[in-house]
Amino acid sequence: MTLEEKVSILSGEDFWSVPAVARLGIGKLRVTDGPNGARGGGSLIGGVKSASFPVGIAIGATWNVALVEEIGAALADEVKSKGAHMLLAPTVNIHRSVTNGRNFECYSEDPFLSAELAVGYIKGLQGQGIGATIKHFVGNESEIERTTMSSEIDERSLREIYLIPFEWAVKKAGTWGVMSSYNRLNGTFTSEHNWLLTTVLRNEWGYDGIVMSDWFGSHSTAETINAGLDLEMPGPARDRGQKLIDAVNAGAVSAETLDKRVTAMLRLMERVGSLDDHRPHQEQANDRPEHRALIRRAGAEAAVLLKNNGALPLKPESRVAVIGPNAKRAQIMGGGSAQLNAHYRVSPWEGLVAQLGEDQLSYAVGCGNDRFEPLLRGTMTVEYFANEKLAGEPVHIGTQEDAQAFWIGHVADGKVDPLHFSARVRATYTPEKSGTHRVGIYSAGFAKVFVDGKLVADAWTSWTKGRTFFEEGCDEVVGTADLEAGRTYDVTIEFATKHFATLGLAAFACGIGLPFGDADIAEAVRTARNADVAVVFIGRNGEWDTEGSDLPGIELPGRQNELVAAVAQANPNTVVVLQTGGPVEMPWINSVRVVVQTWYPGQEAGNAIADVLTGSAEPGGRLPQTFPVRWSDNPAHSQDREVYPGLEGKVRYEEGIFVGYRHYDRLGMTPLYPFGFGLGYTTFSVSDLTVDDRGFEADGNVTATVTVTNTGARAGSTVVQLYVSDTESSSPRPAKELKAFAKVALEAGESRQVTLTLDARSFAFFRTEAKHWLVESGDFTLRIGQSSADLPLTATIKRSTILMLPV
């Protein structure tokens, strides 16, 4: 290869591909966003339809490695249908804070659970020849100023908590791709962090795949190449191309280093089959029955039954009041780069109608839970201008189906510069009710909204950076308009691009809505009072749980707490169905009969939820994240802003290794619901613990065997969990740490022996000064049960010598 050819494959050609090298017959490598589906090369909005799978935290709640491997294999089919070779997934950052906007996309607060699930996902994906790209390496546990923030994390915490999923992905799953995070790590961008990308990843772990930047997440030429970043994305090249050629010629990058990066890229291309893939790029929407069935099954297995005083499963003859903002809206995914255009969306209302019949159901919305005004929908005309002043004649006219756009890479059939254009959107709106409506607009760019020619919302004149569109957009600007029911109004949205901070995109969203009020809650109360059971569907949506924006807290948005309290007072058989990307405060917990957390379970959401509510499927989930009583109980909550959300460019991981349940144990604090907790429609016991520690002294290996019995009247599943405690350590350690688990499904009355295996790392902590893992002499306690707070079986084992393990 010539120098120019080598350099060409070290940066993207466009947003989703690496260029071919025609002279040598090297094909084009294509990637696509995941992790809960394969979107293909389209925008975050619209595009070719794809299967929408459960989000990461829902996968985490299954605690089922075999199921996750099935999902990985199915996602490989989806990637192939989009003509791509790699999926930008899985996301394995740790749930450090309950307010991280991207927790929905990640598996757990616990590194071991995250790591085991990631291994299953990667094996399923790569077993079908599709490359995994585990992300974001490392320290991206918040979305606040994430493209510039420095995560200040000590090495022991990195090794014991944040690096574990990546280490397992390399050593146990053989991942072919790693994506660097946007943030700095201890002052240095991860995309040019030599210790992270070379010392740890390649030299210590033996990684031979590629490291790619997150989109626009690399900031230098020689520094990134020399540190170990193989691929700059997206294209066209910004800090590579001619700049890299010049750096090689000047000696800033050696020929040997360049060849290492090129070899890694060629090895990847060979693994995923792109090296000799010269087929025309095509994207298909393959709505497969087997994927539908898998998504539905996984959605039910992810549901966590937190409380059940006999109201579930619903009795077939029950009259059911279906209430709440998430009842008739299918909340199937979070926001950000995980978004895709799903084949379809099944709402809980539709799922219950299919199973119970509409005659048994009544409905009231009660209140809203939107972060922004409800999106304006309907066919709209879009005029594009090849300037930023809406001047002259439009160079292209298109249509869209709602008042939102996410323009990136290729706009208006290529007739405008995607970073320098303007657009005018023309729509109509016919309100159902008369009243003072709220008109909202937020944009990555300048935008205005006119209703019948009158300026109503202005995000142009005084545009200010906010927390939308990956922190490239402003916060929503809201105006009001008095509108009459049944009358049609002209709505015009004017948009122009502006200079971007990090991500080169243009976007807007516009909504119009009539605020909910007391009358809506009163109607919900009447509906509940006239039913046998009231099922309240509440929570958040992808506007709240989204990449690019953390949550302000974990209170339910809007008047949802008030709605639940009012409904529970009206009907003693109140069931609460939560859909969120993490925990919420539950001030009404003692007033309701049932709480079930169903996350964002993908396109089959309503069917999966209805399966759980009616009992046709078991709620098989267990919490992958501790649910605190209040946000202030969380380990990242602090009066010191540098601890969270960050101050002057730094966020300090002050809690160290005491993340999640480790924190609550340390303080002796009882959470609302503990890590690993979940009920079912049957009961289980674990008994007869036996431990084989004959190899413990020699190599650190131990096995623990228990008998699991379904003591209830129907089939079901549980998760047997094993935690290790170091009775006396020379260094501070958590009271216990998850080190093994097994998902077990049994028929009523059935028993089975389950063996859990521990290796030396299960007992070790990291010694920063000595740069090794250490198993100390002394006693270790094994604790086994069905949640971090329910561990009835214990056994103590002893070492008489220390054991040092390499990194």
For residue 372, what pLDDT is reported?
Answer: 97
For residue 410, what pLDDT is reported?
Answer: 84
* Bridge partners (DSSP) listed for residue 495: 423, 447
**Which residues does the annotation mark as catalytic?**
214
Q: Is 210 helix (H, G, I), strand (E, B) or coil?
A: strand
* CA distance linking residue 167 with residue 175, whole number of Å: 10
Q: What count of other Cβ atoms lies within 10 Å of the Cβ of residue 712?
A: 15
Can you give the length of the chain in residues?
Answer: 807
With contact defined as beta carbons under 8 Å apart, do 650 and 676 qualify? no
Domain segments of the chain as ranges? 3-272, 289-370+517-634, 377-513, 684-805
- Can you read off the two tokens belonging to residue 221? 């030429």
Per-residue exposure over 452-480, b if at least 16 CB sit within 10 Å of its own CB, e if not: eeeebbbbbeebeebbbbbbbbbebbbbe
Count helices and strands in the chain by DSSP H and E runs: 17, 38
* CA distance linking residue 28 with residue 20, whole number of Å: 4
Question: β-pairing, 320-323 with 361-364?
Answer: parallel
Give me the mean pLDDT over the 700-713 stretch.
98
Angle in degrees, 0-180, between the axes of helices 605-614 and 289-302, rounded to the nearest 10? 50
Q: If one looks up domain 3-272 in CATH, what number appears? A: 3.20.20.300
* CA distance linking residue 761 with residue 739, whole number of Å: 9
Give me the mean pLDDT over the 560-568 stretch.
98
Q: Is 42 helix (H, G, I), strand (E, B) or coil?
A: coil
* CA distance linking residue 536 with residue 524, whole number of Å: 10
According to DSSP, residue 650 is labeled E
**Helix or strand run (H / E) with residue 86:** strand 86-88
* CA distance linking residue 527 with residue 531, whole number of Å: 7
With contact defined as beta carbons under 8 Å apart, do 98 and 104 qualify? no
- Could you give the percent of the chain with pLDDT greater than 90? 98
For residue 729, what pLDDT is reported?
Answer: 96
For residue 408, what pLDDT is reported?
Answer: 86
Tens of pLDDT, residues 154-174: 999 999 999 999 999 999 999
Look at residue 549 and tell me whether its pLDDT is greater than 90.
yes
Give me the mean pLDDT over the 475-488 stretch.
97
Tens of pLDDT, residues 28-61: 999 999 999 999 987 788 889 999 999 999 999 9
With contact defined as beta carbons under 8 Å apart, do 457 and 513 qualify? no
Cα angle for residues 761, 665, 149 (degrees, 5° grid): 75
For residue 96, what pLDDT is reported?
Answer: 98
Q: Considering only CA atoms, which of 628, 670, 636 is closest in space to residue 653? A: 636
* CA distance linking residue 634 with residue 553, whole number of Å: 11
Q: Considering only CA atoms, which of 155, 186, 152 is closest in space to residue 646? A: 152
With contact defined as beta carbons under 8 Å apart, do 261 and 213 qualify? no
With contact defined as beta carbons under 8 Å apart, do 311 and 575 qualify? yes
Pick 481 or 410 by higher pLDDT.
Answer: 481
* CA distance linking residue 370 with residue 539, whole number of Å: 10
With contact defined as beta carbons under 8 Å apart, do 620 and 608 qualify? no
Place of tokens 């809206």: 329
Look at residue 68 and tell me whether its pLDDT is greater than 90.
yes
Q: Considering only CA atoms, which of 659, 796, 679, 610 is closest in space to residue 95? A: 659
Cα angle for residues 766, 770, 774 (degrees, 5° grid): 40
Cα angle for residues 186, 192, 197 (degrees, 5° grid): 85
Give every CB contact of residue 236 below 8 A, 6+ residues apart in sequence. Answer: 11, 12, 13, 14
- Can you read off the two tokens belonging to residue 609? 């939820």
- Can you read off the two tokens belonging to residue 404? 């939102």
With contact defined as beta carbons under 8 Å apart, do 189 and 228 qualify? no
Which ranges in 56-179 belong to alpha helices (H)?
56-62, 65-81, 111-126, 155-157, 164-171
Burial class (CB in 10 A: 0-12, 13-18, 19+), 287: middle
Place of tokens 């969306």: 345
Give every CB contact of residue 283 below 8 A, 6+ residues apart in sequence. Answer: 40, 41, 42, 48, 81, 82, 83
| Distances 557 to 369, 372, 590, 651 between C-alpha atoms, Å | 6, 11, 20, 26
With contact defined as beta carbons under 8 Å apart, do 371 and 566 qualify? no
CATH superfamily of this structure's domain 289-370+517-634: Glycoside hydrolase family 3 C-terminal domain (3.40.50.1700)
Tens of pLDDT, residues 388-442: 999 999 999 999 999 999 998 889 999 999 999 999 999 999 999 999 999 999 9
- Could you give the percent of the chain with pLDDT greater than 70? 100
User: Per CATH, the architecture of 684-805 is what?
Assistant: Sandwich (2.60)
Which ranges in 436-551 belong to alpha helices (H)?
518-529
* CA distance linking residue 620 with residue 610, whole number of Å: 14
For residue 548, what pLDDT is reported?
Answer: 93
Place of tokens 């009882």: 670
Place of tokens 């994390």: 153
Q: With left for phi above 0 and alpha for psi between -120 and 50, is residue 437 left, alpha or beta?
A: beta
Question: β-pairing, 778-785 with 716-726?
Answer: antiparallel
Burial class (CB in 10 A: 0-12, 13-18, 19+), 186: middle
- Can you read off the two tokens belonging to residue 701? 């290996």
Look at residue 525 and tell me whether its pLDDT is greater than 90.
yes
Pick from 70-74, 336-340, 578-582, 642-646: least confident: 336-340
Give me the mean pLDDT over the 261-272 stretch.
98
For residue 777, what pLDDT is reported?
Answer: 97
CATH topology for the 377-513 domain: Jelly Rolls (2.60.120)
**Phi, psi angle pair for 403, to nearest 5°:** -90, 60
Give every CB contact of residue 409 below 8 A, 6+ residues apart in sequence. Answer: 14, 15, 234, 418
| Distances 756 to 110, 701, 782 between C-alpha atoms, Å | 18, 11, 11
Q: Considering only CA atoms, which of 677, 685, 724 is closest in space to residue 707? A: 685
Give me the mean pLDDT over the 620-643 stretch.
97
Look at residue 697 and tell me whether its pLDDT is greater than 90.
yes
Burial class (CB in 10 A: 0-12, 13-18, 19+), 565: middle
Give me the mean pLDDT over the 288-297 stretch.
98
- Can you read off the two tokens belonging to residue 107? 């598996």
Q: What count of other Cβ atoms lies within 10 Å of the Cβ of residue 359?
A: 8
For residue 722, what pLDDT is reported?
Answer: 99
Cα angle for residues 720, 722, 727 (degrees, 5° grid): 155
**Phi, psi angle pair for 124, to nearest 5°:** -65, -45
3-state percent helix, strand, coil for the chain, nearest multiple of 5: 25, 30, 45
Q: Considering only CA atoms, which of 350, 323, 348 is closest in space to residue 531? A: 323
Q: Considering only CA atoms, which of 67, 27, 611, 552 is closest in space to residue 298? A: 67
For residue 44, what pLDDT is reported?
Answer: 81
Give every CB contact of residue 201 below 8 A, 6+ residues apart in sequence. Answer: 137, 166, 170, 178, 207, 211, 228
Mean pLDDT of the chain: 97
- Can you read off the two tokens belonging to residue 212? 């790619």
